[in-house]
Every structure is written in C-alpha cells, then in structure tokens.
Structure 1
C-alpha cells in the first residue's frame, strides 16, 4: 500500500518549463471559462467544475493523483445529484493524461473507472423509458471514454519508441567512443612494442661494437675507429626511428588508425640493410632468399622483419664470439618460411611474460598474421628459429 501511494504521489519525470507553462494556461483558461459557466448554471455544480479543472495543472507530473482526485470529485457530484457541468470535461483530460504519462497499471485501472463512470452517468443523467435511447447514449459515452484512453496509449507507445531510439543512439555513440579509445590504446601498445624492438636491437649492436672496440683499441686503432663509427651510426638510426614512434605517442588524435597498416613499417626490403648492420657489428651473417618473391601485405612484411631482427639480436646476445648466422627466406606457394640459425654456444631466446620480448613476442607477432614460430637449440649446438607465415589470413580468423 505504501509503495502504491508513493508511486501516485512521486513525480515521474522532469517537466520542461514550456510544458509547465502550457498546463498552467490550459488549466487556468478552462477553470475561468468553464468554471464560471458552471457557477452561473448552478452554484454547487460550479464548485464541482473548479474541483475537476484546477488539478489539471499537475497532470504531467502527478497524472495518477490528478485522475483519482478528479474522479473523486465526479463521484461527489453524482452522489449529490448535481447536474452535469462544462467542467466535467476535466475527467476526459485527466484520463488522457494518466494514459500518456502514468504507469501502465494505473492507466488500466483508470480505464475501468471510466467504464464504471459511463454506467453511473447513464443510469443517473440519461435514464429513459426508451431502453434503445439509453443503450445508444451508453455506447456513445463508452466510445468517447475508450477513444480518449486509446489515443493516450498510442501517444505513450510512440513516446517510448522514440525514447528507445534516442537511448540506442546514445549507446551507439558511447560504443563508438569506447572503440575509438581502445583503438588508440592498442596502437600505442603496438608502438611501445616497436620501440622495445628498435632499442633492444640497436643496443645489442652497440654493446658488441663497444666490446670489440675496447679490445682492439691498442692493437688495431683503425678497427676501434670503425667500431666507434658503427656505434654512432646505429645509435643515430635507432634514435631517429624511436623519435618518430614517440611522436606518434604524443599525438592527442590519430585520424587514421588502421591495425593492418602499422607505422613505421619496415618490411622484406629492409632486411638486407638490417643484415648489413649486424655484419658491421662483427657477426658473420649469410642472407639467402629462395622461391619466387612476391609483394607482401604491410603487416606480414613487418612481422617478418621483426622476427629476423629478434633472431639476430638474440644471436648477438647469446651466441658468443665467432658465431656464424644464417637468415633464409623461402617463398613457398602458400606461405613464407623464415629460418634464422646460428652455430654458437647459444643460450637461445629466453621466454618472457611481457608481450613483444623474446620468443613470446615472436609468437605473438606471427599469430596476428595466422602463422607460427618454433625455436630451440639445434642438435650439435647452436640455435634455430623457424617461422611459417601464410600469405593470406585464414577465413576463420587467428586462433589464440
């Protein structure tokens, strides 16, 4: 009972100021015109008319309370035997208001009360010996009451439909914003991974060159100078590439975030330069390409480059002095096979829990393109990395 009363008394919504002003003018105008007409016709009937019209000011904010108040006044009019007044039109307005703005359960109750009112009004005000005339009047009043209620229900249904469309539009906008933020986050994560690869590779070459230059400083000054020059070139190249990627991270907006077009994107064509840089670091590297070369998607080319780069970096770190390394690319009919091997003492590629590092990073990159990476020690010594990268992503997507 308490819940029902609170539902009747509590306002349902925020009413715009323009709607409040309209309701005030409507109720005030009807009260002045129809109330005064009823007062001139019958003093008590005029007071009843005021009681039915004044509450209409709150028909939007408290539709149930207004309807039951107006209905109560109508019952008093019926019990007192007062004649119908122009103010009785307030009953129809209150019924319309509760069917549009009220709760559905109260709207159904209001329809039932309206039907009961039709029977009471017919029995009191249109009592006639002609039963056909009485039935006609009852049907006409019933049709009027039901028509007003049905029109209000239709208005409510349309309002709910529009509200749902607006809510869906708002939710769609939120989803777009969330997806945009997620795309930016993913892009920045990718750039951070690229920065790690660039820095790790560049530092590995610089460390090897620094160690070599230190040993050669006394015996072979020219070799030491060459090592220092390589360190400088490698540092500048790594710093330039890192600055480009950090520049992307500093941007507030990135209008063209396409995960299939990473930036910057070295590829197959950049591998000879990569191999040459490693050779200058003192590592013997054989580079071989077999099969019919083809143009690769940017993502696949970048994946190939980074796998080779990671393999050479780990050879520099773990293979030891005098190691011999080979990089072999085989363009098969359906996939590209990348093999990086060395004959050093090889600690191999240590797995890591941080994506973008070591073997875990290689496998993650390959899986994005639908490929696989296998790595491990070779029989007889050394280490081997084999990546198989299909040219086309499988139709079912990439399995995780």
Structure 2
C-alpha cells in the first residue's frame, strides 16, 4: 500500500512521543491501579502506626484537658475509610480531599498528638487531577477552618497546646508540601497533554491540507488533460473522417499531415502537463502557458470549418494565468462547436483587449439549441468556469441570438496592466 493511500485510524499512530523519563515513572503510568493501592496502603500504615500509641488515660504532660470515651477507635475508623478513598482519587479528587480534611479534624479528638500524610496526599491529588486553583482554594479553606477549630478547642480546654500546635504545624506542612509538589507535577502533566493535543490537531490539519491540495491538483490536471485531449482528438477525428472520405491520395495527404501535426502538439502539451507528476526537480510544476489561440483556429480550419479570428485593441503584457485562461477558453469554445454544433460551418472567435479587461467571444452558426440542452453540467464548461474564476473573471455559455451557441468570457486585468 502506498503512503498516499494509507489512512491511519487515529492521529496518535503518527505521533512519535518520547518515553517518560525514569523507570518508576513509566511503571506508575502503566499501572495506575497498582499505584493507587500502594499509595493507600502506605498512607494507612503511616496514619495508623501513630494511632496505636493511644492511651486510655489522661496524660497531663501532653496537655489533654478532657477525654471522651472511644475516641481512639473512632479516629482509626475515620482514617481507614479516608485511606480507602484513595483508591478512587483519580476520578474523585475533591471527595478524597474532603475525607482528608475530616481526618485532620478527627486527629484533634485523639487522646495524644498524632498525624499522618493524608492531607498532603489529598492536596497533591487535587492539584494533579483537578487544577492548581482548586488545590489553592481547598487548602486555604481547610487550613483556615482547622485553625479556627483548633483555636476554639484550645481556648475552651478541650485539647491541649501540644495537640493544637501539632495539628496546625503538622497538617499545614503536609498540605503545603503536597500542594507544591502536586502543582508542579499537575502543571507539567497539563502542559504535556496540551502539547500532545496540539500535535494531534496539527496531524489532522496536515492530513486535511494534504487531501485538499491533492484534490485541487487532481482537478487542475483533469482540466488540463480534458482541454488537451478533447480538442486534439476532436480535430484529429474530423481530419481522419475527411481523409477517409477522399479517394485522392494527393488531396488526402495534407489532412494526414495535419493529423500528425495535431498529434505531436497534443503529445507535447501532454508531456508538459504530466510533468507535474514526476518527482525529480527537473519536471515543470505547471503546464506551459503559451498562446495557442492561432493554433486552435488553424486546426479548426484544417478540419473543414470556416474559423475566423478577430483581435481588437492593444494587447498588454499578460500574466501566465490570464494567457492560459484565454487560450483554454478559445480551445474549449472551438472544440464544443466542432463536436456538438449540428450543421455548423462557421466559427467566429473574437478577442478584445480593453484597458481593464480581456473579453473573449466564440460563436458558431449551428442549429438552434433547445432549452433542455443548455445545461452546463458538462465537464468542459465546468472546468472552463473554474479556470476563469481562478483568473478572477466570469464566463457565460448559452444559445446565441440567432443560431448556434455563444461562449462569452471576461477576465479583468491587474493594476500593473493599467499603468502601462
């Protein structure tokens, strides 16, 4: 299968992304479930180990003012549930952060100063899997509420100074460290994701531009081939019919010579057109924009038509696009008259150079055309309109005032021609 016909299933097939640095980072990226389970177990271990040192008596050295029964087991249950929520931290980072805040408040009721990494892990999760703004707002509100609660409980004697300072400093540092690391990692992930997404868009846009360019080039080649082949074959068929109908070799010889000449001209133009399909730099990128108006009229005369060319006005220096459009307009109009105009004997071609535009008229004297036959769905006229539009002009085709068919085109000249 050729590269041009290959259609990848997704833009990711053509993206060549570098491998993430570090063996551990690549392992965590490939196994997110295992990473979440390990994080939850480590957080549970570092949170429950300090909780096992709870005592059931009031330790004045710690500064506990009063103690409620069964606070230790309640704190342990809250810690276990909060650590279990880490298993869904990628999908519900806000829920995990709220659970960590509940754990931080539960530590205030513990009979001894304790703490854990839960709030730091939750702040990291919120920054990575939600946003930096959400992490900043969440940590600020959580630490503010914790500070107010600690102050209220300390002033009322519910908790001692040691527990109060442990809660403020410990949870504050954990939340700060988790936020800083999470913000760094999250911003980097989002930046890389944005780059990858932009790369996907560029791949899609590149493929779309390539398809549009290929379609435009196919249309251009089709127009050139149609103009060359249709006209040349029409002339050669008319000449061949004349040669076949003549029994005099001397009279048939000019017709055969004209057939050969027309074939050579068509072959030359065909080579120039197909040169754009070659890959080497020596091939021309576009057909040669030479003036073939006189050759077209001569070929029509050789085929037995009374073709007359009238040129009026001073011809300015024309661009290649305008010159090619004029030549193809004449060629298409004459070819249509030779092929489709029943009973046509005369073809009048008029090219008028005006200060601001070039006007081209091709009129034949064939039989009147019925309204149902005035459709412009033919490829020749459609390609002709496309070519004239590319040159900035307009073209109309339809029945003539009396008999036959008339093609009229007007191509405006550029400002550079106005100044000459």
Question: TM-score if structure 1 supplies the norm length?
Answer: 0.68
Alignment-derived partner of residue 17 in structure 1:
27
Gaps of 5+ in 2: 1-24, 56-71, 416-420
1:271 is matched with 293
Cα separation, partners in 2 of 1:61 and 1:315, compared to 1, 3 Å: closer
Aligned residues of 2:120 and 2:175 also touching (Cα < 8 A): no
Distance of 2:227 and 2:333 partners within structure 1: 11
Shift of 1:305: 1.2
Query: Following the alignment from structure 1 to structure 2, what is the Cα–Cα distance between the partners of residues 26 and 247?
Result: 65
Task: Classify 1:92/1:121 alpha carbon distance in 2 versus 1 (closer, same or farther; 3 Å).
Answer: farther
CA contact (8 A) 2:322 2:391 kept: yes
Task: Report what 1:201 is aligned to.
Answer: 231
Question: In the TM superposition, what is the alpha-carbon distance from 1:178 to its structure 2 partner?
Answer: 0.7
Counterpart residue number, 1:117: 146
Check if 1:82 corresponds to 2:105: no
Query: Which residues in structure 2 correspond to 1:123-162 (within 5 Å)?
Result: 123-124=152-153, 160=190
Q: Could you say if the C-alpha distance between residues 361 and 334 of structure 1 is closer, same or farther in structure 2, counting changes exceeding 3 Å?
A: same
2:128 aligned residue (71, 94, 100)? 100
Deviations 1:343-373 (A, max 9, x none): 4546599544546323x44334323322222
Question: CA–CA distance in 1 between the matches of 2:118 and 2:397?
Answer: 85
1:315 and 1:346 in contact (8 A); partners too: no
Contact 1:318 1:346 in 2 (8 A): no
Q: How many residues align?
A: 364
Alpha-carbon distance between aligned partners in 1 of 2:367 and 2:48, rounded to the nearest angstrom: 106
CA–CA distance in 1 between the matches of 2:78 and 2:364?
A: 102
1:381 is displaced (CA, Å) by: 4.1
Offset of 1:263 from its aligned partner? 2.3
- Post-superposition CA distance 1:81-130 (Å, at most 9, x none): 23233x4343233223224324799866676454433333444468679x
Look up the SS of the partner of 1:199 in the other structure: helix
Contact 1:262 1:298 (C-alpha < 8 Å) held by counterparts? no
CA distance in 2 between counterparts of 1:348 and 1:203 reads 26
Q: Give 2:395's match in structure 1, choosing from 369, 373, 380.
A: 373
1:356 to 372, 379, 387: 379
Check 1:58–1:341 CA distance in 2 against 1; reply closer, same or farther (3 A cut).
closer
Per-residue CA deviations over 1:282-316 (Å, capped at 9, x if unaligned) read 32333343333233222222211111001111222
Task: Compute the displacement of 1:205 (Å).
Answer: 0.7
Q: CA RMSD in A?
A: 4.9
Please tell me whether the aligned partners of residues 46 and 117 of structure 2 are also in contact (alpha carbons under 8 angstroms).
no
CA shift at 1:336, angstroms? 1.0
Matched, 1:305 2:327: yes
Cα separation, 2, equivalents of 1:88 and 1:122: 21
**Shift in Å, 1:210:** 2.0
For residue 262 of structure 2, the aligned residue among 234, 237, 243 is: 234
Gaps of 5+ in 1: 1-14, 256-260, 394-400
Query: Hey, what's the Cα distance between the residues in 2 that align with 1:373 and 1:211?
Result: 32
- Alpha-carbon offset, residue 240 of structure 1: 5.3
Q: C-alpha distance in 1, partners of 2:87/2:383?
A: 70
Please give the alpha-carbon distance, in whole angstroms, between the structure 1 residues aligned to 2:370 and 2:181.
Answer: 77
Instruction: Report what 1:186 is aligned to.
Output: 216
CA contact (8 A) 1:210 1:231 kept: yes
> 1:325 — aligned with what?
347
- CA displacement at 1:229 relative to structure 2: 3.3
TM-score relative to the length of structure 2:
0.65
